[in-house]
């Protein structure tokens, strides 16, 4: 149990530090919005679960275990549209018995995952958040 707590604490600390770096990963200098997503992207999104306040003015979001394996971008819903949260991506490669958290700045209110296939043309070689399970 202590090992699990230590692993979780170290993971959250590492994610918070990575989020603070702020390395730009998009080739485009403007924000990526849902106008640039593939048609029908709304049917493929998965809402994240807000787990509360994290370290240093952040919010911790939980990725549900029902998310299938794949590569996803993190978006903030804005009415009927969405905006890609610059540089945040999650790669799920493990089974549903996992716990994936994403640490974001506090000002995001409705966060979802959208499959990378619905966001063409985005380069993410240096994503801020990446989870790859066993």
For 32-46, what is the mean pLDDT? Answer: 90
Evaluate if residue 63 carries a pLDDT over 70: yes
pLDDT confidence bin for 27, thresholds 50/70/90 = very low
Evaluate if residue 125 carries a pLDDT over 60: no
**Total Cβ atoms within 10 A of residue 76:** 17
Q: Give residue 120's pLDDT.
A: 83
For 4-23, what is the mean pLDDT? Answer: 44
The C-alpha R_g of the chain, in whole angstroms, comes to 14
Percent of all residues in the chain with a pLDDT value above 90, rounded to a whole number: 31
Which carries the bigger pLDDT value, residue 124 or residue 56?
56
pLDDT confidence bin for 60, thresholds 50/70/90 = very high
Q: How many CA atoms lie within 13 A of 96 on its CB side?
A: 5
**Model-wide pTM > 0.85:** no
Q: Give residue 6's pLDDT.
A: 46
Q: Is-contact 101 61, C-beta < 8 A?
A: yes
pLDDT confidence bin for 26, thresholds 50/70/90 = very low
pLDDT confidence bin for 44, thresholds 50/70/90 = very high
Residues comprising the chain, all counted = 134
Domain ranges of the chain: 2-118
For the stretch 82-85, contacts whose Cβ atoms lie closer than 8 Å and that sit 24 or more positions apart, written own/partner, are 82/33, 82/34, 82/37, 82/41, 82/45, 82/112, 82/114, 83/31, 83/32, 83/33, 83/34, 84/26, 84/31, 84/32, 84/33, 84/119, 84/122, 85/111
**What average pLDDT does the chain have?**
76
For the chain, list the strands marked E by DSSP.
Answer: 46-47, 49-54, 58-63, 70-78, 81-92, 100-105, 111-115
Of 104, 105, 124, nearest in space to 116 by CA: 124
């Amino acid at each position: 149990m202590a090992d699990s707590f230590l692993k979780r604490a170290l993971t959250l600390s590492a994610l918070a530090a990575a989020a603070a770096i702020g390395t730009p990963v998009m080739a485009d200098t403007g924000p990526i919005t849902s106008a640039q997503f593939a048609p029908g992207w709304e049917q493929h999104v998965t809402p994240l679960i807000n787990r509360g306040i994290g370290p240093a003015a952040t919010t911790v979001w939980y990725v549900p275990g029902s998310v299938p394996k794949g590569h996803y971008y993190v978006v903030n819903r804005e009415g009927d549209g969405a905006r890609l949260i610059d540089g945040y991506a999650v790669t799920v490669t493990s089974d549903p018995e996992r716990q994936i958290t994403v640490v974001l700045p506090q000002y995001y209110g409705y966060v979802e995952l959208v499959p990378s296939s619905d966001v063409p043309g985005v380069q993410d070689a240096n994503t801020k958040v990446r989870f790859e399970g066993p």
